Chain A
């Protein structure tokens, strides 16, 4: 049971590359914190710094009220689940889980009871004598979890633990991890590049980009009020439509928009309609592609006029392209001309460089 606090944490490699540029995050006791961002954003480095596997250039990492900057990984009272599981290939499942306990000089009876308890919780009991190579991916994943929970550490660290599993198993394990964490009520930090995993698991979501924190908060709050265009397009799939708010067509509809430079509208906030909601935005589109996934349909359209680029973001659409998400399977034909509209409360406005959200 512990808080984890990062105070102005920085990491500069010997070559001069700045991987982490001053991060402040506070994870409360028993909370599930997810670090999310595109590859190379520094999220794994940050996690490894918490684990003690990477040195800290400056700043402080505080686990349960103790500054751990100079503390060895084994003495930080953390447990880590690796992306490739990092199970000891020559040890049985039982020994994999028991290894860390024995190294700490725990009595064999206590080791046995802890491992068996973990095996029961994770449904690994029938395979305690097997070697890791005799297990499926999902079972290995559970052994890696087991190795973490037998230690009863203050903090769990997860480094993309599900990315080696197939899609179905990933969802099942995601739910399992969440349930397990709730039951054990252990503070957890979880790294992923998958925004869906991040949204579903997190109590506290930390969106990172280029070694910096873009936004911290409750996942739904972040979804509803993204602080930058990066967060807006990273959280939510398909990504938020971003367009220049200065184009004549949009400017005239927006009216008072302060000094906003970029307008964002989520695909699900559009409706296909001939009316223009008061204060909202309506756009004429030419339908270019349709994707039906059963419960919903994605309509890809292009705007005739505006082709002005906005700040670069991941998952960015070509300028002028718009995704509209509509329920059901009924959709306009390809080539049709439609009008889509979003109400005022669903509009997101950002400064011209995309770094600031503007509330009007």
Chain B
């Protein structure tokens, strides 16, 4: 990048700082609000400085829940969300890497037809096929279960396409060398293709975990029991109260807690994630 002198550089920095402030301010407000007294917030007298109720608010949020309609501890909601997000991320990667392997490396009848069928499902996200999907899940008695939460979101055209593109860049000679070295299709997949896909898998995991974690519509539809609620649905339920004040500090604390796992996943896998996007080890 060209090094810029004096004034212009300050302008650039100021613009960047404004950008950061715009993005960060709501997060700051959420954190601050989660440490204050509900009565103050309800009166519209919320301070922009952190209050003194941090421990009691977070204790109540995590282990007890709101005192109103849904008395579900957020720890349980987080566990549900975590299980669902992990199932979706791991399941999607496992299914799509296998289907991509089949499409790229095997010559079977209707190979291209199958590829296009997978491709077309890109145009049918859950929102579009929500009624039939609900019907199937209900008929299979998977309402209010982790399988019901995760399975319909696992089959994934995007991840299959990504792995297909990656496999097509792997030189054919590697497969041929493996064949001469006495490695069959499974060994080649396990010993060569999987290790080479590591960075791609990490990048996908980050994206898919966040996608799974942020699911709202599907869990809202198929979970009826409070103890199967995910955190995204839980936040929404906390806000709408019919006969009492919304307990804003608890809502905000829940929002802050909901942000943490994705942040943690991104931080933990950042290095692999960036490598997966920019370079391939060949």
Contacts and interface: CB of A to CB of B under 8 A. Distances in A.
B113 to A, nearest CB: 19
A90 B183 CA distance: 16
Interface string B252-282: 0000000000000000000000000000011
B243 interface: no
A107 interface: no
Counting chain A CB atoms within 10 Å of each CB, the highest count among B176, B183, B198 belongs to B176
Interface stretch (B189-197, B220-228, B231-239): B189-197
Interface in A64-86: 72-74, 78-80, 82-84, 86
Nearest to B181: A100
A87 B281 CA distance: 12
Contacts of B179: 52-53, 72-74
Interface in B183-225: 183, 187, 191-192, 195-196, 198
Given A88-B192, A90-B196, A73 B174 contact: no
Interface residues of B, number: 18
B180 interface: yes
Contact of A82 (B177, B191, B195): B177
Interface string A155-188: 0000000000000000000000000000000000
Interface string B161-189: 00000000001011011011111000100
Given A88-B192, A89-B281, A90-B195, A104 B182 contact: yes
A82 B282 CA distance: 15
Contacts, number: 59
A51 B177 CA distance: 10
A99 B181 contact: yes
A78 B183 contact: no
A53 to B, nearest CB: 5
**Interface footprint category on A:** 20 to 34
A345 interface: no
A63 to B, nearest CB: 13
Contacts of B180: 51-53, 73-74, 78-80, 100
Contacts of A99: 181, 183, 191
A86 B281 contact: no
Given A89-B281, A89-B282, A133-B281, A103 B182 contact: yes
A69 to B, nearest CB: 16
A173 B282 CA distance: 24
Contacts of B191: 88, 99
A78 B180 CA distance: 8
A271 B196 CA distance: 60
Counting chain A CB atoms within 10 Å of each CB, the highest count among B173, B174, B177 belongs to B177
A104 B196 CA distance: 23
A147 B281 CA distance: 20
Given A100-B182, A133-B281, A86 B176 contact: yes
Given A51-B180, A53-B179, A100-B181, A84 B281 contact: no
Closest 4 CB pairs of A and B: A100-B181, A86-B173, A74-B182, A103-B182
29 contacts: A52-B179, A52-B180, A53-B176, A53-B180, A72-B179, A74-B179, A74-B182, A78-B180, A79-B180, A80-B176, A80-B180, A84-B173, A86-B174, A86-B177, A88-B191, A89-B196, A89-B281, A89-B282, A90-B196, A90-B281, A99-B183, A100-B181, A100-B182, A103-B181, A103-B182, A103-B183, A103-B187, A104-B182, A147-B181
Given A78-B180, A86-B173, A88-B191, 5 more contacts: A80-B176, A84-B173, A89-B196, A100-B180, A103-B187
